[in-house]
Amino acid sequence: MRRLPPLLKELHKPGRKGLAVPRGGFEVRPAAELLPTDLLRHEPLSLPEVPEVEVVRHFVNLSNLNYGVDTGFYPLGSCTMKYNPKINEEVSAWFSDLHPYLPAKYVQPLLELLYTLQQDLLEVTGMDAITLEPAAGAHGELTAMLMAKAYLKDKGLHHKDIVIVPDSAHGTNPASAAMAGFQVITVQSNEEGLVDIDKLKAVLNDRVAVLMLTNPNTLGKFERDIMEMAKMVHDLGGLLYYDGANLNGILGWVRPGDMGFDFVHLNLHKTFSTPHGGGGPGSGPVAVKKELEPYLPKPVIVKDGETYKLETDRPKSIGKVRSFYGNILVALKALAYIKALGGAGLREAGALAVLNANYMRVKTEEFLPTAYPGLCKHEYVATAEGLKRQFGVRTLDIAKRLLDKGFHAPTVYFPLIVHEALMIEPTETETKENLDAFVEALREIVEEAQTNAELVKSAPHVTPVRRLDDTKATKQLKVRW
C-alpha cells in the first residue's frame, strides 16, 4: 500500500464521493468539487498584464547592464575569473534531477564521475586522499583546521594551539583558524614580498600546530624557501597547510604534495572554471596526505571493485561538513574542464596564465609601479601610492574610471600590505588584444590623473549609476528605480 500524506489520505478515503479508486489509479476531479466553496476564488486573479515582447525586452535590457566574463575582461586578482566553457553547463545539468537521498546503487554514474574528479585532483596536488564536500574555499580551510584539531587531539598533542599565517594571506585564513579554536599569529613578509624566514623562525615553537601558506602568495610570488619552511614546521611536529585557491599559476608544473604540504584546499570555482561571484556557487575540496586521511569528513566516496560507495564507517572522521555530496554542479564543471584540456592542456593553461600576468606587469610598469617587482606567477599587485601623493588620485578613482572605459576593475586595496593596491590577474583565457586594450585604458587613466585629476576623481561618468556610497549601498540596496 502506498503511503500518502494525511491530507491526501483523507481525500482518498474509500467511499468518499468522487474518489472511488479504480484499479487503474486515482480519478482526477476538478478542485471545485473537492474544496469548500467559501475557499474558492470567484473572479479571475488580477495579475499585471504585459505583452510578452515587453517582458523579454525588460529582462534582456536588465541583463545587458550586467558585466561578467561573458561580456568582457575581468581582471580580479586572487579570484581567477577565467572563461567558463559552455559545455560545462551541459555536463553539470546531466544529474540535476537526481534526488539527493537516492541510495548509492542508483547513482553509480554520478559517483563514478565524482570519484574520477577526486583522482584527477589528487594527481594535480600530489596528495593521497580527498573530500569534495566543502562548499567553498573558506569552508575548505575550516574543514582542514577541524581535521588538524582532530589529528592533534588523537596524537595527544593538546599543547599545539597556534596557527601561523603570513601577513599577505587571504583574510579567510586567520578567520578559519580562529573559528576552529586556534590562536593565530601573523608573520611579516620581507621586502621581496615573501615570508620572512627569520621572522618565521622567531615565532616557531613547540606550540605551533599549523603553518598556513598561500602559494603563489597573494602578491603573485612563489615562496622560494618553501622546502626549508616545511622542514622547520615538521621538525616541531606541526602540519603544513597549502591555500591552493588560485592554483592557476603552478597547475601541471609543481605540486603541493611534493613541496611537503600535509593538506591543501582548492577552489574549483577559480582554478577549474565555473562562473562565480556574488557569493556563489563554489566548491573547496580538501586533499590530504595519508596520515590525515582518517579525519576526512564523511561520507567518503570510495571504489570497491567496480562499485562506488559512500563510506560512512569512519570513526575518526570530523563528520559531515555539508549536506549530501557537496556542490556537485561545480564539481562536474571542474571535471569537464579537466577532461577537455587533459594533462598537457592544464599545464599549458598554467604557463599561459603566468605569461599573460608577466606581459601585463611589464607593460603597466611603464606608468604604474608594481609593489614587489620581479617575476610573478598568475597575478601581480600594482600600487597607485605615488599618484595619490602627487595628484590626490586614489586606487578607488582609477577603478571607477576603468568602468567608463568599459572594463571591470581589478581587485583593489588587497593585499592589505600594499598601499593603494591594484591586484591584477588576467588568466590564461584572454587574448593579447584584450590585455593590450586594458593596459592602454590604464595608461590613459594615469595620464588623466596627471593632467585632469578631477575627471578621474569624479568617475564613473557613463555608467547607469554614478559613484555609489559603498557603505550605504551595501546596507540600503537600491534594486529598482
Ligand X SMILES: *Cc1c(COP(=O)(O)O)cnc(C)c1O
d(CA 94, CA 108): 13
* DSSP code at position 76: B
* Segment lying near ligand X (by CB under 6 A), choices 1-9, 34-42, 136-144, 399-407: 136-144
* DSSP code at position 6: H
Q: Shortest CA distance to 267 belongs to which of 259, 276, 254?
A: 276
In this complex, which beta carbon is closest to ligand X, that of residue 149 or of residue 170? Answer: 170
* Least gap, CB of 282 to ligand X (angstroms): 4
Member of 114, 127, 137, 247 binding ligand X (CB under 6 A): 137
* Least gap, CB of 144 to ligand X (angstroms): 12
Subset of 338-377 contacting ligand X (CB under 6 A) = none
* Segment lying near ligand X (by CB under 6 A), choices 238-246, 319-327, 379-387, 448-456: 238-246
Residue nearest to ligand X (CB): 137
d(CA 341, CA 358): 23
Residues contacting 481, CB < 8 A, separation 6+:
none
In this complex, which beta carbon is closest to ligand X, that of residue 140 or of residue 460? Answer: 140
x/- site string to ligand X, residues 258 to 277, per CB under 6 A? ---------x----------
d(CA 246, CA 284): 11
* Segment lying near ligand X (by CB under 6 A), choices 131-139, 358-366, 373-381, 432-440: 131-139
* DSSP code at position 230: H
Check binding of 243 to ligand X (CB under 6 A). yes
Asked if 111 contacts 324 with a C-beta cutoff of 8 angstroms, the reply is no
Subset of 158-217 contacting ligand X (CB under 6 A) = 170, 172, 214
Residues listed for the chain: 481
DSSP β-ladder status, 263-266 and 239-244: parallel
In this complex, which beta carbon is closest to ligand X, that of residue 332 or of residue 449? Answer: 332
Check binding of 333 to ligand X (CB under 6 A). no
Q: Shortest CA distance to 371 belongs to which of 324, 428, 421?
A: 421
Q: Shortest CA distance to 257 belongs to which of 281, 285, 289, 211?
A: 289
In this complex, which beta carbon is closest to ligand X, that of residue 130 or of residue 445? Answer: 130
In this complex, which beta carbon is closest to ligand X, that of residue 131 or of residue 246? Answer: 246
Check binding of 138 to ligand X (CB under 6 A). yes
Q: Please tell me the count of residues contacting ligand X according to CB under 6 A.
A: 14
* DSSP code at position 214: E
The answer to whether the bond into 426 is cis (omega within 30° of 0) is no
Member of 88, 92, 246, 356 binding ligand X (CB under 6 A): 246
In this complex, which beta carbon is closest to ligand X, that of residue 92 or of residue 143? Answer: 143
Residues contacting 44, CB < 8 A, separation 6+:
none
Asked if 211 contacts 184 with a C-beta cutoff of 8 angstroms, the reply is no
Check binding of 400 to ligand X (CB under 6 A). no
* DSSP code at position 91: H
Q: Shortest CA distance to 426 belongs to which of 358, 365, 343, 346?
A: 358
* Least gap, CB of 34 to ligand X (angstroms): 49
In this complex, which beta carbon is closest to ligand X, that of residue 249 or of residue 252? Answer: 249
* Least gap, CB of 245 to ligand X (angstroms): 3
> Which positions touch ligand X (CB under 6 A)?
78, 136-138, 170, 172, 214, 218, 243, 245-246, 267, 282, 284
